[in-house]
Amino acid sequence: MKKDIAHRVAFLGVASALIFVVLTLETYVFLGILGINPAFLSLPLAIALCLYGDWKEEFCGGTIFGVCAFIISFMVAYTPMYNPLVSIVPRVLMGIGAYWVYHLVSWVINLILNKREEKGHKLLSKKKNIFWRETLPAAFGGVFGALINTVLVLSMLSVFGGDAFAVAFKVAIAFNSPIEMACCAVLVPIYVRIMKIASRTPNKVLFWNGAAVAQQEPSGDGQPETATEKLS
C-alpha cells in the first residue's frame, strides 16, 4: 500500500514538473513571438492527468496546471493571471468536468457495446475495442475540458480582468480555443494511455451505483476481460 502511494506521488511529481516546463516554453515562445498565450501541449497533458486515475485524483491535473499558470504569469508579467480566481479556479473545475464527461461517455459506450455482444453480434477487434472503449471517451473528455477552460477563464476575465477581457476574448475565439480543442481531441487519449501504462493504472468504467469495472486489455478474441469491484 505504501509502495503504491509512493509510486503515485512520484508519478504526480514528474507530471507536475513536465506540465510546468511545457507551459513555460509555450508561454515564452508564443507570448514573446505572437503575443498570445495558447496551451496546445500542456493543456491536453493536464486534462489527461485528471482522466487517467480514479475520482480522488480528478482535480490534480487542473490544479497543477492552474498553479503553474499562476506562477508563470509573474515570470512574464502577464497581469490578467495574477488573480487565482482567473488562473487556478477555472482549471480545477475544468479537470473535474472533463473527468465526469470522460466516464459518462465511457459508461454509455460500454453499455451499448455490451448489449450488442449479448445479442450475439460479432465481437469487435482489439483495435476497435480500444478505440470505442478508451480513445473516444478520452477525446470527448479532452474537448469538453478545453471548452470548460476557455469558457470559465473568459468568464472570470470579464469580471476581474478589465480591459484584458476584450483582447483575450478575440484571441480565444479566433485562435486559441479551436486549436486547443483539436489538440485535446488528439493528444488526450494518447497521454491517458501512456499515463495508465506508466503508472500501472487499470482502465475503469464508472457506474452510477457505486461499482466500477476494471477493464483490462482485450483478449485474443477481441473481448475485454473485466472484474467488478466496489468503490471505497
Domain extents for the chain? 2-103+125-201
Q: Is the model's pLDDT at 184 over the cut of 70?
A: yes
Quick one: which of 224, 215, 141, 150 has its CA closest to 185? 141
Q: Residue 105: what are its φ and ψ, rounded to 5°?
A: -65, -40
Find residue 226's DSSP bridge partners. 215
d(CA 58, CA 146): 15
Question: Which of residues 15 and 201 earns the better pLDDT score?
Answer: 15
What is the share, in percent, of the chain residues with pLDDT greater than 70?
Answer: 78
CA distances for 83 relative to 20, 28, 73, 74, 94, angstroms: 18, 20, 10, 11, 17
Q: Residue 152, SS3?
A: helix
> What is the structure's pLDDT at 157?
83
Query: Rounded CA gap, 153 and 20, in Å?
Result: 19
Is there a contact between 43 and 186 (Cβ–Cβ < 8 Å)? Answer: no
Closest by Cα among 49, 21, 67 to 198 = 49
Rounded to an integer, the average pLDDT of 132-159 is 91
pLDDT at residue 49 above 60?
yes
Query: 2-103+125-201 adopts what CATH topology?
Result: Arp2/3 complex 21 kDa subunit ARPC3 (1.10.1760)
Out of 28-37, 42-51, 66-75, 214-223, which region has the weakest mean confidence (pLDDT)? 214-223
Q: How many CA atoms lie within 13 A of 30 on its CB side?
A: 16
Return the H-helix or E-strand segment holding 228: strand 224-230
CA distances from residue 138 to 42, 106, 133, 144, 174 in whole angstroms, order as listed = 16, 8, 9, 10, 25
Separation between Cα atoms, residue 217 and residue 145, nearest integer Å: 26
